[in-house]
């Protein structure tokens, strides 16, 4: 049975400091795969542990299919939990680890030994470890141990599957392989799943929806395309993907970087301090004297299939992606054009901006 999870005005405080969670509300649909994404201290793991029953909220409700989950004991809540450090029993074989939750049930609810063996065999096949049932965790790779932990969580046929930084302890190549595998597994099993991560790429690749958290609050909820392409706050833009930031002043509908006017769409952004964000692939370099902000190349480095250039523009440093065959000498003066950027009021909502015509000679058109 798939389960809808409702998190309603949940708060959590530890001592007298700032709350770990401040009135967080979220609806997770049945069979949905949702990522809780944010930096350390954003409250994502605390929220996951409250859903699991490992922490109690200071206030608020957690509902499974509309029924109160907080009053249900942890062992009866129907939660499968996968920890970052696997938490496997070292003295048990792989098969014994997977069977642990089934054998720990009260006698009246415990399947027969034959049923347990059959269930374990099916799960090891599901996680592609059918030949490893007799091994011990120390005899497995990190990626294999994580798959055993997932099989153990699935063995109890959970209503909700929770994963806390499931790939954080693995190297980059193994993480990428397991991400694809986990998405395929989710599509086959259909569990309602929440997973915690600080890795934006992981969240964007895996999740149906991404919940971006910061300082104990939800900043934005949306599809991967929503949160990456249409961030609602400066905090989300700055956290999602790579970006550069220019501090500007908005006066009379004009954004100013120092004394240079930037022809940005300023509607919705009041006069005062503003923040202009741009991604490296939306920055174009030109020859001195061409349209754009004046800048000077400060450094460059190889960045996968492209070359990443750092340009000093006033007090800001912008990054631009160029073809690896292009050579730009350090110290070279260039014009910098922002093909697409986002303007935010400091501490307020943002306005998406795209290349309007320059308003006056010397203005820079975004």
**Averaged pLDDT of the chain:** 88
Mark whether 261 and 194 lie in a shared domain. no
The DSSP code sequence of 113-175 is HHHHHHHHHHHHHHTT-GGGTTS-GGGS-HHHHHHHHHHHHHHT--SEEEEESTTTTS-HHHH
| Beta-bridge mates of residue 312 | 296, 317
pLDDT at 366: 31
Mean pLDDT of 221-245: 92
Mark whether 35 and 165 lie in a shared domain. yes
Number of domains comprising the chain: 2
Domain end: 229, 250, 276, which one? 229
CA-to-CA distance for 198 and 48, rounded, in angstroms?
14
Mean pLDDT of 202-223: 96
Mark whether 222 and 261 lie in a shared domain. no
Domain end: 199, 229, 259, which one? 229
pLDDT at 171: 81
What is the span of the domain harbouring residue 86? 5-229
CA-to-CA distance for 205 and 222, rounded, in angstroms?
13
Cβ atoms of 353 and 264 within 8 Å: the answer is yes
Highest-pLDDT range among 206-215, 234-243, 282-291, 294-303 = 206-215
Residues 6+ apart with CB under 8 A from 89: 96, 97, 100, 137
pLDDT at 349: 57
Could you tell me the CATH number of the domain that includes residue 289? 2.40.50.140
For the chain, the distance separating the N- and C-terminal CA atoms, rounded to the nearest angstrom, is 51
Assign 259 a pLDDT band (cuts: 50, 70, 90).
confident
Mean pLDDT of 281-291: 85
Assign 268 a pLDDT band (cuts: 50, 70, 90).
confident
Helix (H, G, I), strand (E, B) or coil at 188: helix
Mark whether 295 and 147 lie in a shared domain. no
Mark whether 259 and 351 lie in a shared domain. yes
Could you tell me the CATH number of the domain that includes residue 127? 3.40.50.300
Mark whether 214 and 249 lie in a shared domain. no
Instruction: Give CA separation, 291 vs 234, 245, 294, 332, 357, in Å.
Output: 27, 20, 9, 16, 11
Residue 198 lies in a domain: yes
pLDDT at 51: 96
Mark whether 15 and 79 lie in a shared domain. yes
pLDDT digits (tens, 9 = 90+) for 17-72: 789 999 999 999 999 999 999 998 999 999 999 999 999 999 999 999 999 999 99
Mean pLDDT of 269-295: 87
Mark whether 250 and 186 lie in a shared domain. no
pLDDT digits (tens, 9 = 90+) for 129-178: 999 999 999 999 988 998 999 999 999 889 999 999 888 777 888 888 88
Mark whether 87 and 148 lie in a shared domain. yes
- According to DSSP, the β-strands at 160-164 and 79-82 are parallel
Residue 278 lies in a domain: yes
Mark whether 203 and 248 lie in a shared domain. no
pLDDT digits (tens, 9 = 90+) for 323-366: 988 888 899 999 998 888 888 888 655 555 554 433 333 333 33
pLDDT digits (tens, 9 = 90+) for 97-137: 999 999 998 888 899 999 999 999 999 998 889 999 999 99
Mark whether 249 and 217 lie in a shared domain. no
Domain end: 180, 195, 229, which one? 229
Of 125-134, 197-206, 260-269, 295-304, the least confident: 260-269
Assign 185 a pLDDT band (cuts: 50, 70, 90).
confident
Mean pLDDT of 217-234: 94
CA-to-CA distance for 85 and 208, rounded, in angstroms?
25
Mark whether 52 and 196 lie in a shared domain. yes
Task: Say whether pLDDT at 235 is over 60.
Answer: yes
């Amino acid at each position: 049975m798939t389960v809808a999870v409702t998190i309603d005005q949940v708060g959590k405080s530890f001592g007298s400091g700032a709350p770990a969670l401040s009135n967080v509300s979220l609806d997770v649909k049945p069979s949905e795969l949702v990522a809780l994404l944010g930096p350390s201290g954003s409250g994502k793991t605390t929220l996951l542990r409250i859903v699991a029953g490992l922490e109690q909220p200071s206030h608020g409700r957690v509902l499974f299919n509309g029924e109160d989950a907080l009053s249900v004991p942890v062992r009866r809540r129907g939660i499968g939990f996968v920890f970052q450090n696997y938490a496997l029993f070292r003295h048990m074989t792989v098969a014994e680890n997977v069977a642990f939750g089934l054998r720990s049930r009260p006698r009246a609810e415990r399947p027969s030994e034959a049923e347990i063996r059959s269930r374990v065999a099916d799960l090891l096949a599901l996680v592609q470890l059918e030949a490893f049932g007799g091994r011990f965790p120390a005899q497995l790779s990190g990626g294999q141990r994580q798959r055993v932990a997932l099989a153990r969580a699935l063995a109890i046929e959970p209503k909700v599957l929770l994963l806390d930084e499931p790939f954080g302890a693995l190297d980059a190549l193994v993480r990428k392989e397991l991400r694809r595998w986990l998405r395929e597994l989710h599509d086959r099993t259909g569990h309602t799943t929440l997973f915690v991560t600080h890795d934006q790429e992981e969240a964007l690749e895996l999740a149906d929806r991404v919940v971006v958290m910061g300082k104990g609050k939800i900043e934005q909820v949306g599809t991967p395309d929503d949160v990456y392409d249409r961030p609602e706050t400066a905090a989300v833009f700055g956290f999602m993907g790579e970006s550069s930031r220019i501090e500007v002043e908005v006066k009379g509908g004009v954004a100013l970087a120092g004394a240079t006017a930037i022809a940005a769409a300023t509607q919705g952004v009041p006069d005062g301090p503003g923040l202009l964000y741009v991604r490296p692939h939306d920055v174009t370099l030109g020859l001195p004297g061409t349209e754009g902000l004046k800048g000077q190349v400060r450094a460059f480095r190889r960045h996968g299939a492209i070359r990443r250039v750092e340009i000093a523009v006033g007090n800001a440093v912008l990054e631009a992606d160029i073809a690896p065959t292009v050579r730009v000498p350090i110290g070279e003066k260039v014009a910098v054009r922002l093909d697409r950027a986002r303007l935010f009021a400091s501490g307020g909502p943002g306005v998406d901006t795209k290349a309007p015509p320059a308003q006056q000679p010397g203005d820079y058109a975004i």
